[in-house]
Amino acid sequence: MRIAAFMMSCAERQAVREETLVNLSRSDWEGEVAVELDRQSVERRQERQETTALRLLERAQLAEADFVLFLEDDLDFNLHLRHNLGQWAPLREVGPRSHFFGSLYNPNIRIQSQEPAQAFFIAEPECVYGSQAFILALPTVGYIVDGWSEVPGMQDIKMSRLAARVCSVYYHMPSLVQHLRVPSVWGGGYHWASDFDPVWRARDA
Amino acid at the residue 116: P
Instruction: For residue 170, name the pLDDT band (cuts at 50, 70, 90).
Output: very high
171, 120 Cβ separation under 8 angstroms? yes
Q: What is the pLDDT of residue 185?
A: 58
Quote the crossing angle between the two packed helices 138-147 and 155-163, to the nearest 10°. Answer: 110
66, 92 Cβ separation under 8 angstroms? no
Residue-wise over 72-84: b if at least 16 C-beta within 10 A, else e? bbbbbbbbbbbbb
Pairing assessment for the beta strands 3-9 and 33-37 based on DSSP bridges: parallel
Distance separating the N- and C-terminal Cα atoms of the chain? 14
Angle at 175 between CA 142 and CA 190, to 5 degrees: 85
pLDDT at 153 over 60: yes
Average pLDDT of the residues of the chain: 93
Domain edges within the chain: 3-179
pLDDT at 131 over 80: yes
User: Could you tell me which CATH number the domain at 3-179 has?
Assistant: 3.90.550.10
Quote the crossing angle between the two packed helices 45-60 and 155-163, to the nearest 10°. Answer: 50
Using CB atoms within 10 A of its CB, is residue 35 exposed (0-12), middle (13-18) or buried (19+)? middle
Model-level pTM?
0.93
% pLDDT > 90, the chain: 83
